[in-house]
Amino acid sequence: MRGIFITVASLVFLFFAFIIGVAVGIAIFGDEGFIPGDKVAVLRIDDVILDSQIYLESLSKIKKDNSIKALVLSINSPGGAVGPSQEIYSEALLLRKTKPVIASLGSVAASGGYYIACGAQKILSNPGTITGSIGVVAQFVSFKQLLKWAKVDVEVIKSGRFKDVGSPFRQMTEADKEYMQNIIDNVHSQFKEAVSVSRDIKPKEIDKISDGRIFTGQQALELKLVDQLGTINDAIRLAGSLGGIKEEPNIVYFPKKRSTFFDLLLSKFDYPGLTGYSLNDQFGLFYLLNIAH
């Protein structure tokens, strides 16, 4: 009798251990990790792009997962910092060598958002999507008049002529502006070259539309900035087809969402990578659609 009790107890223990293990796995990795068969990954790139790490980690996982046959870049972003946008674009290009990559443009996929889309072999857009904005912006604030009003002097000791370019404590000189304009022009040329090569558009044609202006998806199609009009579902079906999936593809989303428990835990830490950034605190060059708040 005692042996039967131990056996039953052991089975009950193993059953609950299995249930708890599954629950923990779902909490950490999401229930999408249990989807069987061939899959299409959807990498959601939303909001202003100031850090590429979470996207690069997702792309690495997608590349290593043999059950993922293709990727859709679902972009709903006005752009962001130059470096992160270029990093995601470069990794998308690398992934294209082993798996089909399709870009789907949402309500806004402009500037750095469009730059990333150029890493895909095909770009789909909605007719009313706001895209384009091929350009670079850098904004500087001067406190000179405020300091004068407050009768506050600021002394700066620097190692070189341009070391404090963009400082809010003084106005920019003409030499400063010329120096920064050269930097911006160089980064702008990198953007134009990426579009020209990826979209197979002559540089002279790119020059005509790379003054920062925006386009609708319909206009972008006419300018060859996108390949066709279509929804995210159209992009998923196309990716699945190019990936060799004959039936309706299973979908796995990235970046992975954490459970409420982990959200609560992370919210206790004041870390910019987890809690978000303020553009007002950022210095740098941006592939960013400049929308007034």
Measured CA angle at 111 (ends 73, 171), to 5 deg: 145
Q: Which amino acid is at 205?
A: E
Nearest to 137 by CA among 272, 293, 282: 282
Q: What is the pLDDT of residue 19?
A: 54
Give the C-alpha separation, 98 to 41, whole Å.
14
Helix residue ranges per DSSP H, 140-202? 144-150, 174-199
Just list the catalytic residues: 111, 163
Q: What is the pLDDT of residue 14?
A: 55
Nearest to 44 by CA among 82, 86, 93, 88: 88
Give the C-alpha separation, 266 to 140, whole Å.
33
Q: What is the pLDDT of residue 24?
A: 47
Query: CA dihedral defined by 197, 202, 203, 208, rounded to 10 degrees?
Result: -120
Q: What is the pLDDT of residue 279?
A: 47
CB 237 within 8 Å of CB 26: no
Q: What is the pLDDT of residue 10?
A: 56
Please give the C-alpha separations between residue 42 and each of 48, 77, 103, 168, 240, in angstroms, as whole numbers: 18, 15, 10, 41, 11
Q: What is the pLDDT of residue 23?
A: 46
What pTM was estimated for this model as a whole?
A: 0.79
Q: What is the pLDDT of residue 2?
A: 57
293 residues of the chain, pLDDT tens digit each: 556 656 545 554 555 555 555 444 544 444 445 567 899 999 999 999 999 999 999 999 999 999 999 999 999 999 999 999 999 999 999 999 999 999 999 999 999 999 999 999 999 999 999 999 999 988 888 787 887 888 888 888 889 888 888 788 888 899 999 999 999 999 999 999 999 999 999 999 999 999 999 999 999 999 999 999 999 999 999 999 999 999 889 999 999 765 444 454 444 444 444 334 444 445 567 777 765 44
